């Protein structure tokens, strides 16, 4: 086992405007780090409204900042507080910086957004940079199509942060699938900071999984249907339900986890339709989706980063129905994975014919398992992140914490 300095601390930031992706990725990394490093404590800064629904291991805790959500028109608004968005962002930035000041981490890892939501992490990054704290930007395998990512990062003034603030950039994927910064002209100094870790392998919870009262766990095999957080997964769920309504003799029953962010109207309608079917069960949320996936014979999903990691980790045949708005991230990931033979992609044509989905589900048992495709380093992400963290922390010169505070 590698070691880190006694009493070492790592701080994570994930902005979490809506959905579960950032939080679940950061939580997986944090749990792997504390399992490997017994002297490490981790604090997660998050805006997720449901972060308290997840279990966290010993020496992992979180600070929840006021929530912000992104509207369909691209604007942001406060999630629960009836105050101006700028005021909410100012509070978030203040809480983030104050927490970092007092916690005084030995390592700061920012998820996806180089300067945070609307630049809310910039002052914190500058403060920790002056202290000599290693700063890491963690990126998922696919950000967006290059034609859109380049101007977006230019507007956000992200490149100077990569050049002047960050010590390392970790891509939680492989270049064989995608280069997340494709289309951006990176100086050599930034390219030298890039490391591809591989995907983040998931495992079953260490503690027994409590029975979800919403679900009737069948002894027979089932298909897991998951739209992730569910905020934009209604079309995929509708398409699956159409297949089961059209074909009552589907080979496997479906277990549908709608997601906590799906609208209550859609949840109610889907549950009403499912009640008329003898081979479909539904629940709104299950914090331990890994157990449901591990027991499934196949998966139908939208293809977000975490779901893709779980499909690979538990070696599940999968049909991916990626979204294409507001980003092509899921479509790019699914199309590249299909080219490699890891999954099958089914494009949403807007018609969503029942027979098309039913045929895909009937053919699912004949698909190759992801493990039949050899991709070197595919699931090495957590091991490599552990190694990289050990290296950064061992190289850091310890500074007395009380002397370091004050920016």
Extract the tokens encoding 290.
């890994």
**What pLDDT does residue 216 have?**
54
**What pLDDT does residue 211 have?**
62
Of the chain, the percentage scoring pLDDT greater than 90 comes to: 76
Which of 63-67, 287-291, 394-398 shows the highest mean pLDDT? 63-67
pLDDT at 192 over 70: yes
pLDDT at 79 over 70: no
CATH number of 9-201+379-404: 3.40.50.2000
pLDDT range class, residue 2, cuts 50, 70, 90: low
pLDDT range class, residue 280, cuts 50, 70, 90: very high
**What pLDDT does residue 220 have?**
80
Give 278's contacts (C-beta < 8 A, 6+ positions apart): 248
**What pLDDT does residue 74 have?**
54
**pLDDT higher at 243 or 206:** 243
Question: What is the rounded average pLDDT for all residues in the chain?
Answer: 91
pLDDT at 373 over 80: yes
**What pLDDT does residue 207 have?**
66
In this prediction, residues 117-134 reach a mean pLDDT of 96
pLDDT at 318 over 60: yes
**pLDDT higher at 285 or 28:** 28
Report the DSSP beta bridge partners of residue 389.
none
Spatial distance between the Cα atoms of 310 and 107, rounded to a whole number of angstroms: 27
Of the chain, the percentage scoring pLDDT greater than 70 comes to: 89
**What pLDDT does residue 18 have?**
62
CATH topology of domain 223-372: Rossmann fold (3.40.50)
pLDDT at 404 over 70: no
In this prediction, residues 52-79 reach a mean pLDDT of 80
Range from 32-36, 168-172, 212-216 carrying the lowest mean pLDDT: 212-216
**What pLDDT does residue 231 have?**
86
Burial grade of 235 (CB within 10 A; 0-12, 13-18, 19 or more):
middle
Q: Where in the chain are all domains bearing CATH 3.40.50.2000?
A: 9-201+379-404, 223-372
In this prediction, residues 108-123 reach a mean pLDDT of 96
Spatial distance between the Cα atoms of 383 and 37, rounded to a whole number of angstroms: 12
Q: Which of 348, 114, 357 is nearest to 246 (CA)?
A: 357
pLDDT at 118 over 80: yes
Do β-strands 68-70 and 76-78 pair in parallel, antiparallel, or remain unpaired? Answer: antiparallel
Q: What is the pLDDT of residues 144-191, one digit of tens each?
A: 999 999 999 999 999 999 999 999 999 999 999 999 999 999 999 999
């Amino acid at each position: 086992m590698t070691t880190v300095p006694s009493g070492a601390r790592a701080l994570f930031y994930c902005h979490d405007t809506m959905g579960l992706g950032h939080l679940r990725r950061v939580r997986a990394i944090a749990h792997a780090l504390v399992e490997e490093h017994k002297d490490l404590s981790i604090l997660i800064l998050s805006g997720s409204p449901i972060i308290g629904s997840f279990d966290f291991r010993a020496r992992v805790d979180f600070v929840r900042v006021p929530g912000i959500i992104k509207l369909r028109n691209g604007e942001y608004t406060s999630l629960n507080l009836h105050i101006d968005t700028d005021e909410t962002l100012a509070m978030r930035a203040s809480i983030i910086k104050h927490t970092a000041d007092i916690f005084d981490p030995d390592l700061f890892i920012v998820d996806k957004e180089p300067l945070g939501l609307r630049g809310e992490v910039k002052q914190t990054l500058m403060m920790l940079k002056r202290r000599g704290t290693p700063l890491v930007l963690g990126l998922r395998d696919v950000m967006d199509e290059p034609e859109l990512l380049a101007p977006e990062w230019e507007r956000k003034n992200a490149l100077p942060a990569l050049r002047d603030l960050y010590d390392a950039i970790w891509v939680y994927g492989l270049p064989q699938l995608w280069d997340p910064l494709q289309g951006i002209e990176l100086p050599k100094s930034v390219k030298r900071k890039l490391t591809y870790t591989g995907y983040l392998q998931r495992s079953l919870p260490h503690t027994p999984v409590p029975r979800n009262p919403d679900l009737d766990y069948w002894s027979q095999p089932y298909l897991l249907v998951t739209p992730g957080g569910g905020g934009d997964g209604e079309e995929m769920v509708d398409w699956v339900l159409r297949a089961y309504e059209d074909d009552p003799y589907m080979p496997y029953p479906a277990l549908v986890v709608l997601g906590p962010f799906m609208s209550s109207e859609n949840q109610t309608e889907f549950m009403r339709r499912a009640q008329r079917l003898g081979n479909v069960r539904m629940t709104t949320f299950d914090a331990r989706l890994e157990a449901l996936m591990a027991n499934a014979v196949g998966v139908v999903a939208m293809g977000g980063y975490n779901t893709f990691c779980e499909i690979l980790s538990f070696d599940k045949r999968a049909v991916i129905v990626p979204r294409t708005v507001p980003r092509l991230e899921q479509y790019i990931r699914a199309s590249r994975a299909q080219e490699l033979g890891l999954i099958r992609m089914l494009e949403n044509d807007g018609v969503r014919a029942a027979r098309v989905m039913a045929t895909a589900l009937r053919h699912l048992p004949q698909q190759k398992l992801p493990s039949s495709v050899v991709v070197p380093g595919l699931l090495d992400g957590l091991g490599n992140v552990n190694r990289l963290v050990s290296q950064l922390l061992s190289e850091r010169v310890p500074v007395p914490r009380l002397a370091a505070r004050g920016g």
